[in-house]
Amino acid sequence: MPGAPGSGEVVRGIVSAGAYVPRARLRRSEVAEFLGSGGGKGARAVASHDEDTTTMGMEAARTALRAAPAAAVDALWFATASPAYLDKTNATAVHAALRLPADVPALDFGGALRSGIGALSSSLRSATTTLVVMADQRDGLPGGADESAGGDAAAALVLGEDSPGAPVVAQFLGGASATDEFLDRWRAPGEHRSKAWEERFGETRYLPLGLDVWVRALKAAGIEAGEVDHLVVTGMHSRASKALVSRLGKLGLHPDVAADDLSGSVGQAGTAHPGLVLASVLETAGPGETVVVLHLADGADGLVFRTTDAISDWSPVRTVAAQIESGAALPYGKFLAWRGMLNPEPPRRPEPQRVSAPAAWRSEDWKFGFVGSRDRTSGALHMPPARVSMKGGAVDDMEPAAMADLIGTVVTFTVDRLAYSPSPPIVFAVVDFEGGGRFPLELTDVDAEAVHIGDRVEMTFRRLFSADGIHDYFWKGRPAAVSGAPAPQS
Amino acid sequence: MASHGIRDRVAIVGMGCTPFGEHWDKGLDDLIVEASGDAFTSAGVTKDEVDAYWFGTAQSGMSGITLARPLQLQNKPVTRVENYCTTGSEALRAAAYAVASGAYDIGMAVGAEKVKDSGYQGLNAAGPPSDGTARTLTAAAMFSMVAPAYAEKYGVDEDQMTDVLAAISVKNHYNGARNPRAQFRREITKETVLASPRVAGRLGVFDCAGVADGAAAAIVVRAEDALRYTDKPLYIKALSFAAGSGSGLIDPGYDYTHFPECEAAAADAYAQAGITDPRRQLAFAEVHDCFTPTELVLMEDLGFAARGTAWKEVLAGTFDLHGELPINPDGGLKSFGHPVGASGLRMFFECWLQLRGEATAERQIDNGRTLALTHNLGGYPGEMVSFVSVVGTERD
């Protein structure tokens, strides 16, 4: 067992965590109402038409970093089984949006449902301060089990050594891993639909793998089963996960330590899920509590943590619980349209042109970071950044003005029913930011009828549209603190 | 800084204007040939006698050859002009200045737009390659933000605002119904306006200008030569233009209840023309009624009504066809649609007809005044270009 905080030994673990659960919820009962079968109980989270794994990952990363502002990240690892791009690294957009320095590498862990937990455990065994971002968007055919059981979400963890400004809130005690080549779940590249072998086969493989890893992880951490305060078991094979929890109950695990796996409220968010449930557990954990994470995917991975005193002072601005609470119902038809399963009549307007690569590169700070410029003399704020001031005669005398984390107020707004949008209508508002600056921007995660002059909005990183396979990432506004507010009744 | 203008130095001596509408059977070249031919006939000149040409089109072609080819102009100086929705007016401004400079004796401005070949509703401009961060709203949405801002600032309640905007639409359709060149020639009621499908914000289809193909043309000469071509020339009193810096979009001081570019262009034009009381000196005005709130705000920007009062004047009928100051007696963009390159020249064409007493009897204005104003704007609230002209039948 590694040294405890204050023992003089290097303490490594989780410095901060953040999660993102998109606002839209598909009530599973709606599936059966529509199709006559399928669906189930509870709800699943659904990425909006302007979200993907990159934007969700970015939102989770923002939350994690805001709760640990002194953490100096020196690597960004992004894991997803639903990448927005292949060949091109997706982590670089997150890197740009977070405005991380160029010498911080941004790398993708791609493709497999195991890549999230893999990035997490690799980082814990490295010497860097790593921001591990895990995001996933789970699809399935209409009425199928995957469509209902899946969920869209992201999680981000800052992993590194304990330091005065950025203390470890959950120390890594040890872990174990087991790898096995067998066919449980697979998906051909380009397909949205996963396929799975007969459920019983996977269960008979995962159960012994999970038990083996459990025993070895606890041993590596130097703890007994009875010391475990929180058990997080995740994986797309929910039957195997349940069976494992049940078996561990007979092996010395205290009852009721199994954490809510959020399958009823968010759905199984694949690659992101272990991070999501872990973040959720940490948000309510007190100091000195032991947390075990077990993820079942093509083998098993287990990680053991113990929360430190520092966790008392750690509080993410957007908790998982608050985000789950603030969901808004999405009609099943809209869900199908957003997932490309239904093709509604598009607006009779030309589709947008693809983004120019050099133009996007030149404006990286603006486009990805939402950084304007402020005239040093007049204070006039320019969005996008400008060289010549709109007030006074200053030329090339501006400083960067980071706007992404500021709150704005709606000055006036409109609803455009004609303009092109992947999901019309467009709600558009002129927004004045606290501390100065105005920008006309699109609102998202908002009901067109519920917008008023004077509403407060916060910025969120989104995908405006895609053309020629190029995703146009930029910022939109959304009602401030929409996460944490009571859920709108639908 | 100076804006001297060319008051009474240049005159319009011939004009042509096609009917505006969905000309499925006519291409851009047809529209150009028809409008230009009417203007040549009107002025009694041939294409070879015209020394230089300016061709306004926003999206229907590039370069002067777009005009030179259909008219078969041989090595004439032909320049294509584009300046958003002021494009047609800008072609005339260029031709007038060239004649005023002495560089040419006869100049011609032609504006044409073939909009209905695109297959889309409304106007669609494809911008240059970009970083993808600029808004992609319709013009209707951008201008729809004016209505609530105006209502809020001046305490106009919801029902009153509805009445005001509908009244503007009803008036322009009333005028257009009396104009054989208009696209829409039926009077409408307030109920029609209110029942139309929503496009953006509170604006419905009947709050928006139509979409049409069309062309118009004007021939200009030095004022002292004008009577050689026509007994009733129109003397150019003022041509002004203002391009905003676009800062209204990001300036927290901008409140969406006025268009500073239009105020600036109007002030310049009135100074050039020596106009001190436009509401009483002008016989009428043709303004850029792209959307009903636009016309409302322009009544104040152009000095026809005091700030915060235009809505009352609209309801009082001040701007009706036979009101104190008729606005858009030809039916405006509302009845004509908006072939961008042609619209500005179409407004001049109404001045040509009205001030010479040649409008159809049922819409002829006879208030004893000899000056008229045309106004265009292009772009959006906060990021706009604006043109204002004054023409008259008397040379001072």
Q: Do A60 and A201 lie in a common domain?
A: yes
Q: Which two tokens stand for residue A146?
A: 């995957």
Which residue of chain B comes nearest to A379, CA vs CA?
A: B251
Top residue of A414, A417, A443, A471 to mutate, by most chain B CBs within 10 Å, is A414
Inter-chain residue contact B249 with A438, CB threshold 8 Å: yes
| B contacts of A349 (beta carbons < 8 Å) | 120-122, 124, 138
Residue with tokens 């041993």: A219
Question: Same topology for domains B10-118+213-232 and B139-205+235-392, yes or no?
Answer: yes
Q: Which residue in A350, A417, A442 is closest to B124 by CB distance? A: A350
The verdict on A357 touching B (C-beta cutoff 8 Å) is no
Contact B142 A474 (CB under 8 A): no
* DSSP tag of A388: B
Which of A412, A443, A475 to mutate: most B Cβ within 10 Å? A412
Vertex A217: Cα angle to A212 and A223 (nearest 5) = 120
Residue of B138, B254, B258 to mutate when probing chain A, most A C-beta within 10 A? B138
Among the listed residues A405, A392, A481, the one whose alpha carbon sits nearest the alpha carbon of residue A445? A481
* Cα separation, B288 vs B168, whole angstroms: 12
Please identify which residue in the block is written with the tokens 């690569």: A357
Here the CATH number for the domain that contains residue A251 is 3.40.47.10
Of A349, A355, A473, the CB nearest to B120: A349
User: By CA distance, what is B149's nearest residue in A?
Assistant: A412
Mean pLDDT of B111-132: 85
Q: In what order do the strands lie in the sheet with A381-382?
A: A381-382, A371-375, A398-402
Cα A331 to Cα A34, A43, A119, A323: the distances in Å are: 10, 12, 35, 19
Which one of A288, A315, A338 terminates a domain? A338
pLDDT value at A103 more than 90: yes
Number of H helices, E strands in chain A: 12, 22
* Position A485 confidence tier, pLDDT thresholds 50, 70, 90: very low
pLDDT value of residue B1: 61
pLDDT for A400 equals: 98
> Which residues of B are catalytically annotated?
85, 338
Nearest CA in chain A to B141: A416
Rounded Cα distance, B334 and B347, in Å: 13
Position A420 scores a pLDDT of 84
Give the angle B287-B292-B295 at the CA atoms, nearest 5°.
Answer: 30
A180, part of any domain: yes
| Chain B residues near any Cβ of chain A (below 8 Å) | 120-122, 124, 126-127, 129-133, 135-138, 140-142, 144-145, 148-149, 152, 198-201, 245, 247, 249-252, 254, 256, 382
Q: Which amino acid is at B125?
A: A
What residues of chain A lie within 8 A of the CB of B126, using their CB? 350, 353
Res. A264: pLDDT tops 70: yes
Report the domain count for chain A.
3
Euclidean distance between CA atoms B207 and B164, whole angstroms: 11
Cβ contact A366–B133 (<8 Å): yes
Contacts of B114 (CB under 8 A, 6+ apart): B23, B27, B28, B31, B60, B213, B339
**Is the Cβ pair B129, A383 closer than 8 Å?**
no
d(Cα B278, Cα B273) in Å, to the nearest integer? 10
Q: Report pLDDT digits (tens) over A338-360.
A: 999 999 888 777 788 999 999 99
Q: Is A370 on the interface with B (CB under 8 A)?
A: no
pLDDT of residue B124: 67
Query: CB–CB of A280/A264 below 8 Å?
Result: no
Residue pair B2/B195 in contact by the 8 Å Cβ criterion: no
**Cβ within 8 Å of residue A249, ≥6 positions away:** A255
Residue of A390, A420, A473 with shortest CB distance to B136: A420
Quote the mean pLDDT of chain B: 96
Tell whether A363 is within 8 A of chain B (Cβ): yes
Q: Are residues A297 and A420 in the same domain?
A: no
Higher pLDDT, A425 or B108: B108
Q: Which amino acid is at B27?
A: G
CA distance B141 to chain A (A): 5
pLDDT in tens, A197-213: 999 999 999 999 999 99
Element (H, E) at B168: helix B158-176
**Gap from B257 CA to chain A (nearest CA, Å):** 11
What are the boundaries of each domain within chain B? 10-118+213-232, 139-205+235-392
pLDDT band at A6 (very low <50, low <70, confident <90, very high): low
Give the whole-angstrom CA distance, residue B109 versus residue A312. Answer: 76
- Percent of chain A residues topping a pLDDT of 70: 97
Beta strand B52-56 with B78-81 is parallel
Of the candidates B370, B364, B182, B386, the one whose C-alpha atom is nearest the C-alpha of residue B294 is B386
C-alpha–C-alpha distance, residues B88 and B110, integer Å: 7
Task: Mark whether A393 and A476 lie in a shared domain.
Answer: no
Q: What is the pLDDT of residues A353-410, one digit of tens each?
A: 999 999 999 999 999 999 999 999 999 999 999 999 999 989 999 999 999 999 999 9
How many Å is the Cα radius of gyration of chain A?
23
A409 found inside a domain: yes
CB contact under 8 A, A414 and B142: yes
Which residues on B lie below 8 Å from A383 (Cβ)?
250
What pLDDT score was predicted for residue B274? 98
Name which of A348, A380, A416 is nearest B137 (Cβ-Cβ): A416
Q: How far is CA A333 from the centre of its chain?
A: 24
Domain contains A253: yes
Work out the minimum CA distance from A439 to partner chain B, whole angstroms.
Answer: 5
Is A464–B126 a contact, with Cβ atoms under 8 angstroms apart? no
Residues of A in contact with B129 (CB under 8 A): 353, 356, 359
Domain region containing A390: 370-402
According to DSSP, the β-strands at A398-402 and A371-375 are: antiparallel
Taking contacts as CB-CB distances below 8 angstroms, the residues of chain B near A474 are: 132-133
* Residues A101 and A198 reside in one and the same domain: yes
Confidence of residue A256 (pLDDT cuts 50, 70, 90): very high
Which amino acid would we find at residue B305? A
Nearest by CB: A418 against B135, B148, B200: B200
User: Would A360 be classed as within a structural domain?
Assistant: no
Note whether residue A330 is domain-resident: yes
Domain boundary among A338, A353, A378: A338
The pLDDT confidence band at residue A4, using thresholds 50, 70 and 90, is: low
The alpha carbon of residue A343 is apart from the nearest alpha carbon of chain B, in Å, by 19
Same-domain status, A413 and A483: yes
Same domain, A107 and A192: yes
Considering only CB atoms, which chain A residues are within 8 Å of B254? 438
A439–B141 C-beta distance less than 8 A = no
User: B123 pLDDT band (50/70/90 cuts)?
Assistant: low
Percentage above 70 pLDDT, chain B: 98
Closest CA to B289 of B354, B207, B215, B216: B207
Backbone angles phi, psi at B208, to 5 degrees: -110, 150
**Quick one: pLDDT at residue A487?**
34
Do A110 and A54 have their domain in common? Answer: yes
Cβ atoms < 10 Å from Cβ of A213: 24
φ, ψ (nearest 5 deg) of residue A346: -80, 165
Instruction: Name B238's bridge partners.
Output: B390
Q: Where are the beta strands (DSSP E) in B114-253?
A: 198-200, 203-204, 214-222, 234-243
The pLDDT of residue A5 is 53
- B198:A417 CB<8 A: yes
Cross-strand bridge partners of residue A178:
A300
Quick one: A270 and A380 in the same domain? no
Taking CB atoms and an 8 Å cutoff, what residues of chain B touch A442? 135
- Span B225-262, pLDDT tens digits: 999 999 999 999 999 999 999 999 999 999 999 999 99
How is the beta sheet containing A290-296 ordered, strand by strand?
Answer: A106-110, A75-80, A130-136, A153-161, A12-20, A170-179, A299-307, A290-296, A230-234
Residue with tokens 């000309």: B23
Whether A347 maps to a domain, the answer reads no
pLDDT computed for residue A340 by the predictor: 92
Mean pLDDT of A160-182: 97
- Residues of A with Cβ-Cβ distance to B140 under 8 angstroms: 416, 418
Asked whether residue A388 falls in the same domain as residue A432, the answer is: no
* The length of chain B, given as a count of residues: 396
Please indicate whether, in this complex, the C-beta atoms of B132 and A415 are within 8 angstroms of each other: no
What's the rounded mean pLDDT across residues A273-285? 98
Higher-confidence residue of A420 and B274: namely B274
CA gyration radius for chain B?
Answer: 20
Q: Which residues of A392-416 are buried (b: 16+ CB within 10 A; e: fewer)?
A: eebeebbeebebbebebbbbbbbbb
pLDDT digits (tens, 9 = 90+) for A20-79: 999 999 999 999 999 998 889 999 999 999 999 999 999 999 999 999 999 999 999 999
- CB-based contact B122 A418, cutoff 8 Å: yes
Nearest residue to A124 via CA among A166, A100, A149, A159? A159
Instruction: Say what the pLDDT of residue A7 is.
Output: 61
CATH topology of domain B139-205+235-392: Peroxisomal Thiolase; Chain A, domain 1 (3.40.47)
Q: Quick check: A164 and A71 in contact, CB under 8 A?
A: no
Asked if residue A134 and residue A55 are part of one domain, the reply reads yes
Contact yes or no for B137 and A350 at CB 8 A: no
Within an 8 Å CB–CB cutoff, is residue A422 touching chain B?
A: no
Sign of CA dihedral A307, A312, A317, A319: positive
If asked whether residues A188 and A98 sit together in one domain, one would say yes
Return d(Cα B43, Cα B220) in angstroms, integer. Answer: 9
Distance from CA of A442 to the nearest CA of B (A): 8
Closest CA to B109 of B389, B319, B318: B389
What CATH code is carried by the domain that includes residue A437?
A: 2.40.50.840
Per-residue pLDDT tens digits for B330-386: 999 999 999 999 999 999 999 999 999 999 999 999 999 999 999 999 999 999 999
Shortest CA gap B344–chain A (Å)? 25
Residues of chain A positioned with their CB less than 8 A from the CB of B135: 428, 440-442
Band of residue B81 on the pLDDT scale cut at 50, 70, 90: very high
Q: Is the pLDDT of residue A490 over 60?
A: no
Indicate the average pLDDT of chain A: 94
pLDDT given for residue A60 in this prediction = 98
Q: Are residues A332 and A233 in the same domain?
A: yes
Domain boundary among A338, A354, A385: A338
A353 is a domain residue = no
CATH code given to domain B10-118+213-232: 3.40.47.10
